[in-house]
Structure 1
């Protein structure tokens, strides 16, 4: 005797219904996108924007910011909580352009 059969012994038997289930004759409503939404990229200015093509200043600002928040117990980036040094590094990182202006 298995554990499952012991549990099933205490359940009442399933009785098949003699009536057919009601079928709704109305068609179900369908969700359709009324107009396509075009979203413009927020930060990417070229199709190949990445850290590899970024300016050295941006990479330095990013590295300083990330190195700080990884060891600082007061900074918690997902909620935007930073110590004074972390807030300055984040502001510097946000203000540094990723691409050089041509």
Structure 2
């Protein structure tokens, strides 16, 4: 005999067709919003600034910056370490406006 069979010997037999234990017949409460909350509409000032809506000058400065730091062994952007050329390219990129002035 196995260990499992000795454990099953102490369990009551399963009888098919018996009713399940009594279930509380009271209706369950429902969650309902008591009062409607009126929220003021948010003002949309303009489209989100991203590379697709940026100025061509900003995209050019970004491309120069990324092209440089990807190949330069002296530049490491996560720590802010740049070579002389990389620091100038980074400054140009940081100072180029992303959105056009109106």
Larger Rg: 2
Ranges in structure 2 where 5+ consecutive residues have no aligned partner: 1-44
Output the CA distance in 1 between the equivalents of 2:46 and 2:69.
28
How many residue pairs get aligned? The number is 58
Runs of 4+ in 1 over 6 A off after TM superposition: none
Q: Within 2, Cα distance between the matches of 1:83 and 1:48?
A: 33
TM-score (norm 2): 0.54
Match of 2:49 in 1: 49
Normalising by the residue count of structure 1, what TM-score does the alignment of the two structures yield? 0.54
Q: What corresponds to 1:93 in structure 2?
A: 93
SS of structure 2 residue aligned to 1:53: coil
Question: How large is the Cα RMSD of the aligned pairs?
Answer: 1.3
Aligned position for 2:76:
76
Offset at residue 87 of structure 1 (A): 0.1
Partner Cα separation in structure 2 for residue 101 and residue 78 of structure 1: 30
Q: For each residue in 1:46-71, what CA deviation from the matched residue of structure 2 results, as whole angstroms up to 9, or x when unmatched?
A: 44211011000000000000000000
